[in-house]
Amino acid sequence: MATKVLHFGEGGALLGAYHQPARLRPRSAAVLLCNPFGEEAARSHRTFRVLAQQLERAGYAVLRFDYRGTGDSAGAGADATVAWWQDDVVAAAAELRRASGIPRLAVVGLRLGATLAALATRERDLAVRHLIAWDPIVRGAAYLTELAAQHRAYLYDELGPRWRPPPADGPLREALGAPIGPTLAAELAAIDLTAAPPRADAVTLLVTGAGADQDTLRARLPAAHVIAAEASDAWNSDAAVNAAVVPMDLVQLVVRRIEETLP
């Protein structure tokens, strides 16, 4: 297996890890992985690395990368916007096509990463042969509420009675260490995938939990292949950070699904 660090995008601001398969005859598509946001990105880092390695072993060229203002890419997190990150997805897709020489792309996005990829297919005309949306964020307003609740719970656990919560109607400016600027908060709040579903030749919804928003999105994507898997939260836990905690059942499911549609 060969992994190469790539700097790309405007001014080389984006950092990615490119996985080049060893097989002489490449697969018909390359695979782009789109991270979730904030603490979920840290928790899923190993899962995405293992997924990239499994896809590489199966013969696929793979790129995983950090959005601007996150991870090892340039930029300040407080300045990040959804528009930035959509542009980053498009830049990463172009870099993967360049590095692999393969024009056809599959995109696997987890949580907000799935949403950003879906938005890029509509708002940036990103051409995708197969989008696998793994537990996508369907409504941004509900996502912000979820982040705020997680942040409050963490601070209370750490500080106990000493913690004085901000007003409930105040703006969310941080979520478990990840800054959320006013533009990012407003753009997240405006997201509604049910009103603007993704445009891709094939869409797979990988859903590990029930919810009205997920059901509504399914209804808006009648041609989508829906996989309702048993909830596997192994990746989304404190134990998953810098540890060998990976939902291998879901990783293998994603690899098989790509092999089925893009051999």
The whole-model pTM stands at: 0.92
Q: What is the pLDDT of residues 158-213, one digit of tens each?
A: 666 666 666 666 667 767 778 899 999 999 999 999 998 999 999 999 999 877 78
77 to each of 33, 66, 74, 211, 222, how far by Cα in Å? Answer: 20, 12, 9, 30, 36
pLDDT at site 58:
96
The residue-averaged pLDDT of 50-79 equals 96
In a domain? residue 172: no
- Give the three-class secondary structure for 18: strand
In a domain? residue 146: no
Say whether pLDDT at 231 is over 80.
no
CATH number of the domain to which 102 belongs: 3.40.50.1820
- In 3D space, the residue among 241, 210, 204, 231 whose CA is nearest the CA of residue 43 turns out to be 241
In a domain? residue 214: yes
Distance CA 53, CA 212 (A): 34
More confident site: 158 or 48: 48
pLDDT at site 232:
60
Number of Cα atoms under 13 Å in the Cβ half of residue 54: 21
Q: Which domain holds residue 224?
A: 2-138+193-261
In a domain? residue 63: yes
In a domain? residue 171: no
Q: Helices in the chain by DSSP H: which ranges?
A: 39-57, 82-100, 112-123, 140-159, 182-190, 212-220, 248-261
* Range with the poorest average pLDDT among 118-122, 170-174, 215-219: 170-174
In a domain? residue 99: yes
What crossing angle do the helices spanning 182-190 and 140-159 adopt, rounded to 10°? Answer: 130
Say how many domains are in the chain. Answer: 1
In a domain? residue 43: yes
Instruction: Quote the tokens at residue 135.
Output: 């537990």
Percent of the chain with pLDDT over 70: 87
Tell me if 205 sits within 8 A of 221, measured CB to CB: yes
More confident site: 110 or 240: 110
Alpha-carbon dihedral sign for residues 45, 47, 48, 49: positive
- In 3D space, the residue among 88, 93, 90, 84 whose CA is nearest the CA of residue 124 turns out to be 90
Say whether pLDDT at 126 is over 80.
yes
Alpha-carbon dihedral sign for residues 99, 101, 103, 105: negative
Tell me if 202 sits within 8 A of 121, measured CB to CB: no
Q: What is the pLDDT of residues 5-46, one digit of tens each?
A: 999 999 999 999 999 998 767 799 999 999 999 999 999 999
pLDDT at site 212:
78
In a domain? residue 156: no
